[in-house]
Amino acid sequence: EAGVAQSPRYKIIEKRQSVAFWCNPISGHATLYWYQQILGQGPKLLIQFQNNGVVDDSQLPKDRFSAERLKGVDSTLKIQPAKLEDSAVYLCASSRGKGTLNTEAFFGQGTRLTVV
Partner 1 sequence: DAKTTQPNSMESNEEEPVHLPCNHSTISGTDYIHWYRQLPSQGPEYVIHGLTSNVNNRMASLAIAEDRKSSTLILHRATLRDAAVYYCILRPYPSGSARQLTFGSGTQLTVLP
**Amino acid in the structure at residue 81:** P
CB nearer to partner 1: give 82 or 110: 110
Binding-site member from 91, 94, 113, 115 for partner 1 (CB under 8 A) = 91
Residue 72: strand, helix, or coil: helix
CB nearer to partner 1: give 48 or 79: 48
Do the Cβ atoms of 2 and 109 come closer than 8 Å? no
Q: Does 113 bind partner 1 (CB under 8 A)?
A: no
Q: Does 101 bind partner 1 (CB under 8 A)?
A: yes
Best CA proximity match to 5, nearest among 75, 54, 71? 75
d(CA 79, CA 28): 27
Q: Does 58 bind partner 1 (CB under 8 A)?
A: yes
Best CA proximity match to 94, nearest among 102, 82, 84, 83? 102
Q: Does 22 bind partner 1 (CB under 8 A)?
A: no
Q: Does 43 bind partner 1 (CB under 8 A)?
A: yes
Q: Which residues bind partner 1 (CB under 8 A)?
A: 4, 33, 35, 41-45, 48, 55-56, 58, 91, 93, 98-101, 103-110
